Amino acid sequence: MTGDKRLSPFKGASTSNKKIKATWKWQFFHREKVHVGVRGSLNHFPLVAAFDFDWTLWKTKSGAVFTKNKDDFEILDDTLPSRFAALSKTHKIVIFSNQHGVAQGKCNIQDVMYRVESVMDTLLGDDVSCTVFLVLEHNLCRKPRRGMFDLFLKHFHDREIDYDGSFFVGDAAGRPAHPEAGKEKKDHSSADYLFARNIGFRFFLPEDFISDNCNQTTWEKNCASLPLPFDPKSLKEINSLFAVEEASGDKLDVNQLKEELKLIESREPKIMVVIIGLPASGKSSFRKELYPSYEVISQDILGSANACEKHCQRLVEQSTCKVVVDNTNVQKSHRQTWISLAKKANCFVYAIWIITETRVCLHNNLFRRLSAMMQGKDSKEAKMVPSFVINNLQKKFENPTIGEGFSKLYQVSFRPTFSDKNLESLYFQFLDEK
């Protein structure tokens, strides 16, 4: 195994049919935290046969879930070498594996590389090449995110891929336990199945591959039977923002809403806007789009609820003010604080209720972290709200009404919008492995 050299010596490597003795060369992509191993010389078949590694191509000899030592492994099934012998004549063989255990200190990368080389040397003939990707962190490259696949396309493949004929095999498919069928435990995640969906490959289970059933019928069966969580692509159907004004029931598109809010600004010297919604519901994005010149009251900025209340009071006591309260405000008691301050100061107060499903908030929350990573932002900006916080706030949520004391209440649908194509592509992927 070599050191941390970049890949450039391998790009465009020979693809001749001459027999070679297989050797391994490893390199590390620091930014992506991905180790890449190349066995032999790269080939560039348009068909790609991609695999997970752990419990897809090998299992522990001991029967334990995790290896007890570096030699505690054996190939998953004795028929695998013959399967790979046939496959290698028509497909490029690639391994994509999450190895967060290395970052956690549960194992070391040298042992993982040793296991990769030993298993793949057993499965492949001397003249068969393969490329192996091992991601260490919970980052853009961890499955089901397609970062490892994009790295493969950029540096390790220079031919158009036949997506209809390519496939991915993995054991993490979100299946529940089924003791009657011999499956004692549920899958630890859906990472492999969702990864295949993200990269546009057909998905098969290890038993499909072992039984030579990697065909369209099996793929359709898997699609029908495997659980599919929230699909962010469904949000593409929301192509325009709309709002409902509670008192009148009027539906407004984004331009009509902006015009109505401008009309309020033209006649009211003092305005307070109370934004209501779960964390990662889109509140701050909406606020930045519609209220760029308003004074912002936010616990994220000011640090505490008490500081928010005091600063807001100072602002509304002025002769003119434009204030937007950008907190979750999920309970009536929270909202009464702002309504009371506004009424005492003779300030026009209305509410914007950002209606976003909890599962969309959880997706947005993870996207916020990953998009910060993509843009090279610091760790503070990449920080997530813990999922249990979002779920707990949802349980406490009290739907707002105009009867609480708001002059107007607008129910606004969440709409993802992007000016950056890379961020848009990331958003519409399956991001969470569960």
How do residues 81-97 score in pLDDT, each as one tens digit?
Answer: 999 999 999 999 999 99
Per DSSP, what are the bridge partners of residue 36?
27, 133
> If pLDDT is split at 50, 70 and 90, which confidence band does 379 have?
low
Region of poorest pLDDT, from 158-172, 231-245, 286-300: 231-245
Count of alpha carbons within 13 Å of 105, Cβ hemisphere only?
Answer: 0
Domain boundary among 202, 228, 254: 228
Indicate whether 70 and 206 sit together in one domain.
yes
Indicate whether 217 and 359 sit together in one domain.
no
Indicate whether 207 and 259 sit together in one domain.
no
Give the CATH number, domain containing residue 265. 3.40.50.300
Q: What is the pTM of this model?
A: 0.88
Residue 16 inside a domain? The answer is no
Indicate whether 56 and 193 sit together in one domain.
yes
Q: What is the pLDDT of residues 308-324, one digit of tens each?
A: 999 999 999 999 999 99
Q: What is the pLDDT of residue 315?
A: 96
Indicate whether 78 and 177 sit together in one domain.
yes
Tokens of residue 36, six digits: 């890449």
Indicate whether 274 and 173 sit together in one domain.
no
Indicate whether 300 and 369 sit together in one domain.
yes
- The whole-number average pLDDT for the span 134-159 is 96
Q: What is the pLDDT of residue 241?
A: 61
Asked if pLDDT for residue 201 goes beyond 80, the answer is yes
Q: What is the pLDDT of residue 246?
A: 77
Q: What is the pLDDT of residue 103?
A: 81
Identify the domain containing residue 164 by its residue range: 24-228
Indicate whether 224 and 286 sit together in one domain.
no
Indicate whether 224 and 239 sit together in one domain.
no
Query: Total structural domains in the chain?
Result: 2
Q: What is the pLDDT of residue 249?
A: 81
- What average pLDDT is seen over the chain? 90
Give the CATH number, domain containing residue 29. 3.40.50.1000
Region of poorest pLDDT, from 30-34, 253-257, 321-325, 384-388: 253-257
Indicate whether 105 and 224 sit together in one domain.
yes
Helix ranges restricted to H, 59-108: 80-87, 100-103
**Is the omega angle on the peptide bond into residue 269 within 30 degrees of 0, that is, cis?**
no
Beta-carbon count within 10 A of 410 CB? 21
Domain boundary among 228, 250, 267: 228
Residue 10 inside a domain? The answer is no
Asked if pLDDT for residue 243 goes beyond 90, the answer is no
> If pLDDT is split at 50, 70 and 90, which confidence band does 416 have?
confident
Q: What is the pLDDT of residues 202-230, one digit of tens each?
A: 999 999 999 999 999 999 999 999 988 88
Region of poorest pLDDT, from 335-339, 381-385, 398-402: 381-385
Q: What is the pLDDT of residue 45?
A: 93
Residue 6 inside a domain? The answer is no
CB-based contacts of 264-267 (< 8 A; 24+ apart in sequence): 264/348, 264/350, 264/408, 265/322
Indicate whether 198 and 255 sit together in one domain.
no
Domain boundary among 166, 201, 228: 228
Indicate whether 196 and 263 sit together in one domain.
no
Distance, in Å, from the CA atom of 148 to the CA atom of 165, rounded to the nearest integer, reads 20
> If pLDDT is split at 50, 70 and 90, which confidence band does 166 have?
very high
